[in-house]
Amino acid sequence: MDIAQLHFLVAEAEQTQRLALADVLVHMGVGHITQVPDGHTALRHLTAGLAPLVDAAILDLSLPGMDALELIRRLAELKCRSGIIVLGAQSSAVLISVETMAQAYGVNIWGTLTKPVSPARLEALIQHALLPAAQRNTEGHRQLPQFSFSEVGQALQDGQFDPYFQPKIELETGQVKGLEMFARWRHPVFGVLEPVSFMRVLEQHKRIDFLDWTLIEKSVAACRALHDQGIPISVSINVDPSTLAHPQFMEQMAACLERHRIMADYITFEMTESAVLTTEPHFIERLIRLRMKGYGLAIDDYGTGRSNLQLLARIPFSELKIDRSFVDGAFKKPAIAAVLRSCLGLARNLDRRSVAVGVETKEDWDFLQGLGCTYAQGYYIAKPMPVEDFPAWLTDWRHFF
């Protein structure tokens, strides 16, 4: 949505500060601004359906009558989807906790800022929040049907599922060092669909292996196609533990690599932290055998599970992929940055490569470079793309660097 069409609410008890915040919004080109001095009035504007509806609100943490903590709780109860920015004179640690609380409630929190607020930082926060929203509007506001298992299965048989690839960049050099595969359904009516449209029904019927093997085959074939074009790049493939644990997995993978003339060194299997950190001996044996064959192993979404650090040190993974919740915007969130540093330190100490997922801005990129992260992925670099689009993108990227 064009910013001139947005309606912002500014809830701040101090009139001078309220006017200053409104001035920032006017400078940005916001079309409609409502100013209120207390929490009760803010709640009424956010939830009473008053026209025009509020798209986003800037809230002082210490609003009179009803502070922002209570207001956030009430907004969650009333299913309000307006974007929320909280400002406060409290420490950054407190504000990070406010953001965490809002996320737990399911509120659409855009971020928090410490007072006195820099106009440039407020504007940057709003612009950053609006960019992903614009990207989501294309896909997220479409009303998609609930696909049945038979529909998804038929689409798999018809070859409608394809791997899309997102580049993985070495932060120190800017060189493209790999591609991560993302599943996409090229639906003949609804266009390109993401996993939210089809994963649940496959999980319910315990047949994710149908999708896994389709995408493994196509990903290895894509790897071969790029090698034939003089681009000897590696590919990371997300795979469900049940697929990897199948008795014939090793033999089927060997046959797949032989068909496409790809060495195991060019293939990395990604699994979530909760899936990998197991004491089941047969599964651990499978991981060891994969590493002995030369395959890479990556722990995805690291930081979102309850890690057994002793077991983590014993699993033969080659990459630690740090969840986007510890990457996106960490440069302005000291508490989150501390967790990010800890994850990167763990990877270094275990002699594993680190991959930061969810790099959305140049600030994220610069911050990760300063921390010594190995690789970066995210929309700042590129969205997932069909393999046929990658060579042209790579040429542009090399010109950029």
3-state secondary structure 203-217: HHCCCHHHHHHHHHH
Q: Are 339 and 315 in contact (CB under 8 A)?
A: no
Matching residue, tokens 């080659």? 318
Q: What is the DSSP letter of 197?
A: G
Average pLDDT over the chain, rounded to an integer: 89
The answer to whether domain 3-140 and domain 149-400 are alike in fold is no
pLDDT value at residue 300: 86
pLDDT value at residue 1: 53
Q: Where are the domains of the chain?
A: 3-140, 149-400
Q: CATH second-level architecture of 149-400?
A: Alpha-Beta Barrel (3.20)
Q: List beta partners, residue 184.
A: 162
Please, which residues have CB within 8 angstroms of residue 144's CB and are 6 or more apart in sequence? 190, 193, 197
Q: In terms of residues, how long is the chain?
A: 401
Q: How far apart are CA 75 and CA 73, in angstroms?
A: 5
User: How many other CB atoms are there within 10 angstroms of residue 101's CB atom?
Assistant: 16
**Predicted confidence (pLDDT) at residue 91 exceeds the cutoff of 90:** no
Whether this model's pTM surpasses 0.85: no
Lowest-confidence region among 92-96, 180-184, 340-344, 368-372: 92-96
Q: Are 347 and 367 in contact (CB under 8 A)?
A: no
Lowest-confidence region among 13-17, 27-31, 74-78, 305-309: 305-309
**pLDDT one-digit tens code per residue, 105-119:** 999 999 888 898 888
Assign a CATH topology to domain 3-140: Rossmann fold (3.40.50)
Residue 18 CA from chain centroid, whole number: 33
Please, which residues have CB within 8 angstroms of residue 110's CB and are 6 or more apart in sequence? 56, 83, 84, 85, 125, 126, 129
